[in-house]
Structure 1
Amino acid sequence: MAEQTVQREKDLYIDGRWVPGGGADLEVENPATEEVTGVITQASPADVEAAVAAAGAAFAEWSATPVAERAAALRRVRAVIAERADVFADIIHREQGSPPKLARGLHVDTPLGVIDATVEALERFPFSGRIGNSEIRREPVGVVAAITPWNLPLHQVIVKVVPALAAGATVVLKPAGLTPLAAFELARAFDSAGLPAGVFNLVPGSGRVVGDQLTRHEGVDQVSFTGSTPVGRRIAGVAAETLTRVTLELGGKSASVVLADTSDELLAKAVKITVANCFLNGGQTCTALSRLVVPKGRLGQVEELAAAAAAKYEPGSRLGPLISAEQRKEVESFLAPGAGGRDAVAVTGPVALPDRGYFVAPTVVSRVDPDSRLAQEEVFGPVLSILTADSDDDAVAIANNSIYGLGGAVWSTDDDAALAVAGRLRTGQVDVNGAAFNPAAPFGGYKQSGTGREIGEYGIADVCEIKAVQR
């Protein structure tokens, strides 16, 4: 797709109006071409104050809006996004670098499914119940500050904003500085759908300025952040000063565990899907299955399968770029000798890279030491580690040998055995034998992968307070 005219966004969306931003301009780079594809004006501290005030003023009326009306409003938003799906996909292709097919399928169609599932959950959500002489009420928390990452610039916004609005909360959104353009288009969708003024507000800017101001703001009742674990720790620490509620969706180092009884046919499927999952979005997903744990006696077979699968990911075609030169440098550091331990060896070879763009070769490294940097740290690039296990119990121990606990997978010819191992993995999601993503299921992690849950019924519950009224 040819590079288009630079997208210029001078105004912010605050209190139902487009108003001039008071901050500095920020260029948005296309990581596939290294060219400027957009320029936005960032929010000033005064803009953030205005957005929080608008959200606070809108809360009483929006939280009292009947569920049926909130559901209808979100369905209107969904219809506008669906109508403009190709526009969203083109923006994401330009600002995030995703190949066109992926920009539409992963980045637009998946969040549409999340909206559908969340609206359905809203219509059956138990906002009240009884325990003895007590009525138990779930009430929206108030103003939610949503701070979102660059890797999924529409999806990660939707999984925070839509459940919050469904619950009756109001939102101030700070999108990632590297990929803010889709958020502007989303603000236009909210505006076109006729949401009341102040219910949704957009204030782009840096995390150290806008993000910090939102996290410290006494008018913010909950902060929902997706990003790296180190930044999540800082946000949690700042929010703790005022005991502001925090939802954190952070890093991951997910393991795909192949059990000893797995048939050759299922093994081939396991390797193919694990490679695809690890390389999805250029390897830039928090749930990437970046560790493949296999029986030691089948290592040679797995290496051959993985190398063949990786060879199909051509940089610049099926495999998109990394988001920046800095990110490329970080990923390349994991390919340095010793990063995977002294016995680690790449089973993939060099490939031709485009002349422009922040591309790296899709890489599979085998015989990785479970305690090595490559096995322990989040790479956020198209790099798969293969580790060997002496037994199924050993495989579980290797999978759990991580500070993270976001995603995972189990492969076995015996469904009961797979489910038993799924129960032993200390992680928030586990896919058994390649099961599909469920847009209605709760999403979140164990350990240092975060706190709280997003999407659907659990995403709505996450932004609700609980009140007991005795009668």
Structure 2
Amino acid sequence: MPCDGRCFLGGMNENREVPFLTPSHWIDGRAVEGSGPPIDVVNPADESVIASVHEGTAEDVDKAVDAAVAAFPGWSSTSPQERIAVMRRLAEGMQKHSEELAATITLEMGAPISFSRQAQAGFPVASTLAAITAAEQFEWTEVIENSMVIYEPIGVVGAITPWNFPLQQLVTKVVPAMLAGNTVVLKPSEISPLSARMFAEIATEAGLPNGVFNVVQGTGPVVGGAISRHPKIDMISFTGSIRAGKSVSVAASDTVKRVALELGGKAAHIVLPEADLDFAVNRGLAYAWANGGQACGAYVRMLVPEDLQETVVEKLRAAAEEYTVGDPADEATRIGPVASENQRQRVDGYIQRGIDDGATLVVGGPGRPEGFETGAYVRPTIFSDVDPDSVVAQEEIFGPVLVVIPYTDDDHAVEIANGTIYGLNGAITGDEEHAMVIAKRLRVGQVDVNGGEHNFQAPFGGYKQSGNGREMGRAGIEEFLETKVITR
């Protein structure tokens, strides 16, 4: 990975060099210095500043949009096969640089290095290859009686991505958009901006024409707002909080641009009476605490039959002992810090709220783990006897906090599972026939039955205030297309 002589030394245990390029933005195929003040990128494990990016402005967004507009005619007129070839080389480039990408993401947002290799750097490659397969199978033109239906790129796409899966969330938007023939202006999170810049270089090495993919660093209110309002941007694809998603929608409404939102979740994992409890506990805890619980699809509510709650809680207590908190650069660490000090304080506040509201503390609790006086570390926490209407059962905490909620029968379980403003996903463990009946009653976009393997070709998205639209697979490409009908 080239560094143009402007590399920072990373803070890994072995003091390995990880390339952090100083120029903030990537516009029209090259690094561009930002015009705003610097934003420090902080390693949440030790609070060290590992890089700085210049805060973008509306003027920087204008430059990036102009580059994307200029590149659109050429890119949109290429054949799907040509675009697929570029994306295939992009996937190969991410695979080639996977160790650097994983190390960078670990440094910028604290994911344990083993998880970064598997998911933070691994999932983007799998997602890209799945999008390529979907594009190869896509019917770009079809005939319906005397009408020809043509699917065309929508134009310039503004993508705004979060800090928890910085590369994966980028890829699930940007790659399908470009496969569909669109050009892109991206604002990554200012908390984890470095992997986006590395992606830009890899894409250029893969032969992506200048201006097709552009990055403007900065904050949501300034850069995100400018992208959302921009009259030359045809669509916004946003992943983040409900509050921010509402702001994006309002800003985009003046130009009536298409808006696709993925706004988080509060997934319920329903453990049925006949379930293998060891399997349910081990898989459920793994999916609750993966990435430090900083995942919109984390299984953060475990719903258990009331007569089995005590047994399940004891199994959870034992399983939790295997989750070592530590330096994310250590191969043995299963839970690192959360992504920032602000996030640490937020999660800690929710843990205290759970205690104050009367939930039973099983493991964890407020405050830093023993031996971690610095860094954004929280104590992985489990509550039982949780009121389904309480704050910790209703609001998205985004940290390693699992709540156990007892239920009486199937109807009660479904009522609890559906009883939040969210509707992203859920999980069920038990007899498959029984589980399938329950799954069809859940108001969510996807349901995992008995540990079903994630399918990168299947649509991903939510009901209710978890957002609208779908990502991944064929649906992910359709998201970025206009439909034209020519009737003869």
Could you list the per-position Cα deviations for residues 380-407 of structure 1 after superposition, in whole angstroms to 9, with x for gaps in the alignment? 0000000011001110111000100011
Identify if the C-alpha distance between structure 1 residues 446 and 97 changes in structure 2 by more than 3 Å, giving closer, same or farther: same
Q: Which amino acid aligns with 2:44?
A: P
Q: Which amino acid aligns with 1:357?
A: G
Q: Tell me by how many angstroms 1:245 deviates.
A: 0.4
Runs of 5+ consecutive residues of structure 1 not aligned to the other structure: none
Asked whether the equivalents of residues 24 and 216 of structure 2 are also in contact (C-alpha less than 8 Å), the reply is no
Could you list the per-position Cα deviations for residues 402-446 of structure 1 after superposition, in whole angstroms to 9, with x for gaps in the alignment? 100011101112x12111111111001110001121111111110
Asked whether the equivalents of residues 427 and 447 of structure 2 are also in contact (C-alpha less than 8 Å), the reply is yes
Matches within 5 A, 1:186-197: 186-197=199-210
Match of 2:160 in 1: 147
Q: Does 1:359 align with 2:377?
A: yes
1: distance between equivalents of 2:37 and 2:30?
A: 20
Asked whether the equivalents of residues 144 and 224 of structure 1 are also in contact (C-alpha less than 8 Å), the reply is yes
1: distance between equivalents of 2:351 and 2:25?
A: 41
Per the alignment, in what secondary structure is the counterpart of residue 9 of structure 1?
coil
Q: Does 1:409 align with 2:427?
A: yes
Taking structure 1 as the reference length, the TM-score comes to 0.96
Number of aligned residue pairs: give it.
466
2: distance between equivalents of 1:339 and 1:373?
A: 11
Q: Choose which of 447, 464, 482 in structure 2 pairs with 1:430.
A: 447
Asked whether the equivalents of residues 223 and 247 of structure 1 are also in contact (C-alpha less than 8 Å), the reply is yes
Asked whether the equivalents of residues 353 and 359 of structure 1 are also in contact (C-alpha less than 8 Å), the reply is no
Q: Which amino acid aligns with 1:205?
A: G
Per the alignment, in what secondary structure is the counterpart of residue 459 of structure 2?
coil
Could you list the per-position Cα deviations for residues 269-291 of structure 1 after superposition, in whole angstroms to 9, with x for gaps in the alignment? 11111111110101100101000
Runs of 5+ consecutive residues of structure 2 not aligned to the other structure: 1-11, 327-332
Match of 1:173 in 2: 186
Q: Which amino acid aligns with 1:322?
A: V
Asked whether the equivalents of residues 353 and 392 of structure 2 are also in contact (C-alpha less than 8 Å), the reply is no
Q: Choose which of 255, 272, 280 in structure 2 pairs with 1:270.
A: 280
Asked whether the equivalents of residues 56 and 219 of structure 2 are also in contact (C-alpha less than 8 Å), the reply is no
Match of 2:195 in 1: 182
Per the alignment, in what secondary structure is the counterpart of residue 218 of structure 2?
coil
Asked whether the equivalents of residues 218 and 242 of structure 1 are also in contact (C-alpha less than 8 Å), the reply is yes
Q: Which amino acid aligns with 1:302?
A: V
Q: Choose which of 449, 474, 485 in structure 2 pairs with 1:457.
A: 474
Per the alignment, in what secondary structure is the counterpart of residue 347 of structure 2?
helix
Q: Tell me by how many angstroms 1:337 deviates.
A: 5.1
Q: Tell me by how many angstroms 1:339 deviates.
A: 5.6
Per the alignment, in what secondary structure is the counterpart of residue 45 of structure 2?
coil
| Aligned-pair Cα RMSD in Å | 1.4
Q: Does 1:322 align with 2:338?
A: yes
Asked whether the equivalents of residues 251 and 404 of structure 1 are also in contact (C-alpha less than 8 Å), the reply is yes
Match of 1:96 in 2: 109
2: distance between equivalents of 1:194 and 1:338?
A: 51
Taking structure 2 as the reference length, the TM-score comes to 0.93
Q: Choose which of 173, 180, 187 in structure 2 pairs with 1:160.
A: 173
Q: Does 1:336 align with 2:352?
A: yes
Asked whether the equivalents of residues 340 and 373 of structure 1 are also in contact (C-alpha less than 8 Å), the reply is no
Match of 2:293 in 1: 283
Match of 1:65 in 2: 78
2: distance between equivalents of 1:356 and 1:371?
A: 34
Q: Choose which of 234, 237, 261 in structure 2 pairs with 1:221.
A: 234
1: distance between equivalents of 2:38 and 2:473?
A: 36
Q: Which amino acid aligns with 2:154?
A: V
Per the alignment, in what secondary structure is the counterpart of residue 347 of structure 1?
strand
1: distance between equivalents of 2:67 and 2:161?
A: 20
Match of 1:346 in 2: 361
